[in-house]
Amino acid sequence: MFLKTILSVILAVSPVAAPATPDIPAAELHDRLAALAADRAITAGLIHVRNGSRQWSDAVGVRDLASGTPAAADGHFRIGSITKTFAATVLLQLTDEGRLTLDDPVERHLPGVVPDGGRITVRHVLQHTSGLHDYMSEPGYSTNRWRGDARFDDYTPSQLLKVAFAKGPDFENPGESWHYSNTNYIVAGLLVEKLTGRPYGKEVERRILRPLDLTHTSVPGHRPSLPTPHARGYEPLPAIVDATDMDPSLDWAAGEMVSTTRDLTTFVTALLKGRLTSQASLTEMRRMREAVPLFRYGLGLQEFAIPCADGPKPVWGHTGQLIGYITVAFTDGKGKALTLSLNPYEQDPPTEAVVSMATAVFCR
């Protein structure tokens, strides 16, 4: 009980990491993050906001429950499915280079690998319209669930595809429906490797991380730990367990990467400004189709409508969730961007809280 009392105080009053600017509602955003911590919805929350040339970072909460050390605004975290946007960007760069087209059948580049690969195109894979069954929906294969010692098991992409293909497709005709499936981005990673002859992670580093100077973003492979500093990721079972360390190969190109809020803001801003692909490829990435009520989906990009007083405003980016870590990275493509990393505590932070912070950033 003593630890919980002290923790509640620390979570509510962790200091702002960078000064406010006139065009960024820093006080409001800090208070909203601190409220999540006080409500025990998060153990730590990191935020980075950009408005044109102005930037601001903040952190609330603690790095770990045992020591109560304040969370760091430049802390590392697992970005989960935002990895998909990196993988998709590399494939769009390869289309710009003439190595493939979005309407190529997967079979052309990965012969014999994907069932019905002659009808499933690269576009279907990147847009989650392939119908390929999600291997993570199978028991024991989701990194959003506590897996005990199994979280340190190593996996290969071929093992993950074997699990997915054992169940058959989720719908008969590619392109007829939309269904989120991590299997698609295992295929995307294999496409990158087949076309370049190099590991997909090395291509992410060469084509995105180094050009943008994203020195705090990494593709960990089988490394179970996170770089320092970082906030620990927890899961209530109902007793709280530490889920931070794990072998991320179960996610691979669908969700293994590690980053910081500043790096992710730089990435989504550069992508939507056309610095990473041709304008034609960016247009294809932003060609959305209906997905779920909360968002529409393009090629490795989600589009959200932020509820502003003068009407909904679109933002693009991606969300990521992996046990112990929830991340969102959005930009309006006009100079404003928001990245959040949240570490759930006794419950997942409510969607409304994230929307309220997005509203504060994009509706001003």
Give per-residue pLDDT as tens, 233-261.
Answer: 999 998 999 999 999 999 999 999 999 99
Give per-residue pLDDT as tens, 62-88.
Answer: 999 999 999 999 999 999 999 999 999
Q: Domain for residue 87, yes or no?
A: yes
Q: Domain for residue 65, yes or no?
A: yes
Q: Domain for residue 254, yes or no?
A: yes
Q: Is residue 11 scored above 50 in pLDDT?
A: no
% of the chain surpassing 70 pLDDT: 94
Q: Domain for residue 335, yes or no?
A: yes
pLDDT score of 3: 29
Give the pLDDT band (50/70/90) at residue 22. low
Q: Domain for residue 92, yes or no?
A: yes
Q: Domain for residue 126, yes or no?
A: yes
pTM for the model: 0.93
Domain of 143 in residue numbering reads as 26-363
For residue 51, the domain's CATH number is 3.40.710.10
pLDDT score of 9: 29
Please say if 81 is a catalytic residue: yes
Distances from the Cα of 182 to the Cαs of 88, 126, 267, in angstroms?
Answer: 13, 10, 21
Q: Domain for residue 13, yes or no?
A: no
Report d(CA 96, CA 148) in Å as an integer: 43
Q: Domain for residue 6, yes or no?
A: no
Distance of alpha carbon 40 from its chain centroid, rounded?
23
Give per-residue pLDDT as tens, 308-362.
Answer: 999 999 999 999 999 999 999 999 999 999 999 999 999 889 999 999 999 999 9
Query: Which of residues 19 and 146 earns the better pLDDT score?
Result: 146
pLDDT score of 238: 87
Give the position of tokens 């200091």: 15
Give the pLDDT band (50/70/90) at residue 23. confident
Query: Which of residues 27 and 6 earns the better pLDDT score?
Result: 27
* Overall domain count for the chain: 1
pLDDT score of 16: 37
Report d(CA 230, CA 252) in Å as an integer: 21
Q: Which of 81, 181, 218, 259 does the annotation list as catalytic?
A: 81
* Residue range 8-28: mean pLDDT, rounded: 55
Average pLDDT of the chain to the nearest whole number:
93
Which positions ≥6 away from 344 have C-beta within 8 Å?
A: 41, 42, 43, 234, 235, 324, 326
Give per-residue pLDDT as tens, 33-64.
Answer: 999 999 999 999 999 999 999 999 999 999 99
Distance of alpha carbon 323 from its chain centroid, rounded?
12
pLDDT score of 5: 29
pLDDT score of 44: 98
